[in-house]
Amino acid sequence: MDLDLVLGVIVIGFVHGVLPDHGWPIAATYGLNHSRTWLYGTLGGLILGLGHLFSSVVLVLAYFWFSRFASFAEGPWLRYVAGTMLILLGIHEYRHGGHGHSHGHGHGHDHGHEHGHDHDHQQEHTHKHGNGHGSEHEHDHNTAEINEDEVSNSGLLSNLRTKLFGGDGDGHRHLDESDADRGLFALGATALLLGFAHEEPIQILAICVGTAYCLELMLLYSLAVIIAILVPTLLLIAGYERHRETVERYTPYLPLVTAVVLVGMGLAFIGGIF
């Protein structure tokens, strides 16, 4: 197994796991909500990481099963297919920011609220009614426009993931602090669905097309995700809130790192290096 390929997969897994909206703040919150903070924080982080591991292994097994009945799984041209897929995934990661959020939703809500708030100041009752009505109307209107734009700009794969797993217009269901109150079973179920819904396992499957070490690489990727979730979880429990702020400050640059790794690996496959 090529060392550069291994390092690339580990980087992808680490970047995926260290993103705040993929679990570790929720695992830390779950731990802080219990008296045995370290135990429950570690348990929450492991559950989130193992959910990704299980879903990733399932995808690899499905790939192995499908490749047994498909002639595409054999031939020297597969490295060109794998390389092209990885380059396209890298471009997608760079252009769409991986798991980035649309900020238009919050803007629309604020605009509607202000509009309704200024509606009428003559009577207190009328003012309150206008505020509620204006805010709700404007919020719904802008939300519809934003959802329509997001759906029109998203790809077929993202739309399919959105219908199957829920989430935002990018086909993602992100964790937030409210998930910490749902219990271990619900947290694990959410993590399992997240493992299927996000595109990182698809990136690893693209690598699988060009190498014989598919399962091993997916396991390395999943272990990197688990470590990337556990480390900031325990740091946050230890009281190092500044670490969360530091990670969130550099989060916008993480998709660029993933994109560079994916494109580099794609070029390596096409060039016959891997």
CB-based contact 52:225 (threshold 8 Å): yes
Same domain, 115 and 219: no
In this prediction, residue 181 carries a pLDDT of 52
> Of 18, 70, 83, which is closest to residue 48 (Cα–Cα)?
18
Same domain, 206 and 73: yes
Among 146, 173, 200, identify where a domain stops: 173
Same domain, 148 and 51: no
- Structure token digits, residue 264: 């580099």
pLDDT at 253 over 70: yes
Same domain, 70 and 190: yes
Residue 216 φ/ψ, nearest 5 degrees: -60, -40
pLDDT at 105 over 60: no
Structural domain including 108 reads: 102-173
Mean pLDDT score of the chain? 67
Residue 155 CA to residue 145 CA, distance in Å, equals 18
Among 112, 142, 173, identify where a domain stops: 173
pLDDT at 245 over 80: no
Same domain, 184 and 52: yes
Same domain, 108 and 242: no
List the alpha helices (DSSP H) in 167-213: 184-197, 200-209
Higher pLDDT: 169 or 92? It is 92
In this prediction, residue 167 carries a pLDDT of 45
Higher pLDDT: 266 or 116? It is 266
Same domain, 139 and 19: no
Weakest mean pLDDT among 3-17, 81-95, 155-169:
155-169
pLDDT at 150 over 50: no
Same domain, 96 and 52: yes
- 241 falls in which pLDDT band (50, 70, 90)? low
- 118 falls in which pLDDT band (50, 70, 90)? very low
Same domain, 69 and 37: yes
| CA 149 from centroid of its chain's CA atoms | 20
> Can you tell me whether residue 21 is helix, strand or coil?
helix
Same domain, 161 and 236: no
Weakest mean pLDDT among 39-48, 102-111, 170-179:
102-111
| CA 269 from centroid of its chain's CA atoms | 25
What's the mean pLDDT in 74-95? 77
pLDDT at 13 over 80: yes
Among 173, 202, 236, identify where a domain stops: 173
Residue 25 CA to residue 20 CA, distance in Å, equals 6
pLDDT at 263 over 50: yes
Residue 106 CA to residue 102 CA, distance in Å, equals 8
CB-based contact 269:210 (threshold 8 Å): yes
What's the mean pLDDT in 80-93? 82
What's the mean pLDDT in 224-228? 90
> Of 30, 55, 29, 61, which is closest to residue 173 (Cα–Cα)?
55
pTM of the model: 0.59
pLDDT at 227 over 90: yes
What's the mean pLDDT in 43-62? 83
Same domain, 96 and 199: yes
Same domain, 61 and 120: no
CB-based contact 191:46 (threshold 8 Å): no
- Structure token digits, residue 119: 């509606």
Work out how many domains the chain is built from and give that number: 2
Residue tagged 């047994």 (tokens): 68
